[in-house]
Amino acid sequence: MTDSSAPSDQTDGEPTFRVTEAARAAGVAPSTLRLWETQGLIAPQRRASGQRLYSAADVARLQRISFLRREAGLNPAAIRATLEAEGDSDEAAAAITNEPLGAALRQLRNARGEKLDDVAQAMGISASALSTLERTGAGVSFKVLADLAQYYGTTVSRLSGQDAPGSPVVRSGAARIWPMPVEGVRVEVLAEGRRQMDCHRFILAPGAASEGGYGHEGEEFITVLEGRFRITLDGEEVHELGTGDSIYFESRRPHAWANAADGRTVVIWVNTPPTF
């Protein structure tokens, strides 16, 4: 077989992913990637042996294709038209893959002397999904990322480099963006460095969700700037917030969330102390 789940390769200094890795990151079967190739939706590199290799931009495109097919119900022709209208952007690729995040998680696991199977079992995910996350920084839900941070005694913010010193002023349009491993979730950092609050702007694409509840220490405040935001506390208390609505709750309460709008939803999200 030419395609395998062996570790990713480097081509001209850029990471590339084999078909099983790319398919896992997109949440589809490898055969689906081959189908999309015949439909003209994706054109991966090929080695002389015929082995497919997908770049970070290819993986981002695959995740977008998967979203358009699953959530928007578009056929291949409509997906091609949508992708052409949107254009390919380096920012989109960066928002899907984050090798430094994967490397940080792998380092934390190795420091504890734990195997992939050990951590995967504790998180309730497959070892292959955790392996893909450690190599590519992609392919898990927001809940799994939050659970992993808590498991390792750190936070999502620290894993994303928010502890680095920064200016007290963040100018409009200049906020640092976390390269999130979760499709449809864009997080902008509104306060850099070690602060008493985690301050973020979440921009959620249609269908974006945490895919489960998670909790931690502290308190949280959310206000909706655009769209509709649904949050479920303790697995049963559901609040749907519209533009201008706010909510304040204790972070220890398991909270799951989702974009409840047909379009994008934008919220300001503050955690204190910085345990997110």
pLDDT score recorded for residue 58: 86
pLDDT in tens, 127-173: 877 887 887 776 677 788 888 988 998 888 777 765 666 677 888 87
DSSP conformation letters of 7-31: PPEEETTEEEE-HHHHHHHHTS-HH
Beta-bridged to residue 52, according to DSSP, are: 46
pLDDT: which is higher, 238 or 275: 238
Q: Which amino acid belongs to residue 31?
A: S
Residues ≥6 apart with Cβ < 8 Å to 197: 191, 270, 271, 272, 273, 274
- Is the distance from CB of 62 to CB of 30 less than 8 angstroms? no
Across the chain, mean pLDDT equals 81
The answer on pLDDT for 272 being more than 90 is yes
CATH 2.60.120.10 residue spans of the chain: 166-272
pLDDT: which is higher, 40 or 234: 234
CA dist 61 and 84 (Å) reads 11
pLDDT score recorded for residue 199: 92
pLDDT score recorded for residue 71: 64
pLDDT: which is higher, 231 or 138: 231
CA dist 221 and 248 (Å) reads 5
Is 101 strand, coil or helix?
helix
Burial class, 263, CB count within 10 angstroms (exposed 0-12 / middle 13-18 / buried 19+) = exposed
Domain 9-95 has CATH 3.30.950.10: no
Band of residue 88 on the pLDDT scale cut at 50, 70, 90: very low
Residue bearing tokens 């533009």: 243
Residues ≥6 apart with Cβ < 8 Å to 114: none
The answer on pLDDT for 233 being more than 60 is yes
CATH 1.10.1660.10 residue spans of the chain: 9-95
Residue bearing tokens 């770049």: 55
Lowest mean pLDDT among 112-116, 122-126, 212-216: 122-126
Residue bearing tokens 């015949």: 38
Nearest Cα residue to 90 out of 175, 13, 179, 190: 179
pLDDT in tens, 25-37: 788 888 889 889 8
Token pair belonging to 239: 């609040």
Helices vs strands, H then E, count in the chain = 10, 13
Band of residue 1 on the pLDDT scale cut at 50, 70, 90: very low
Lowest mean pLDDT among 199-208, 213-222, 250-259: 199-208
Residues ≥6 apart with Cβ < 8 Å to 14: 55, 56
Nearest Cα residue to 253 out of 210, 229, 218, 224: 218
The answer on pLDDT for 4 being more than 50 is no
Beta-bridged to residue 258, according to DSSP, are: 209, 230
The answer on pLDDT for 225 being more than 50 is yes
pLDDT: which is higher, 113 or 26: 113
Token pair belonging to 118: 């050990």
Beta-bridged to residue 14, according to DSSP, are: 11
Fold of 166-272: Jelly Rolls (2.60.120)
CA dist 159 and 174 (Å) reads 21
pLDDT: which is higher, 166 or 198: 198
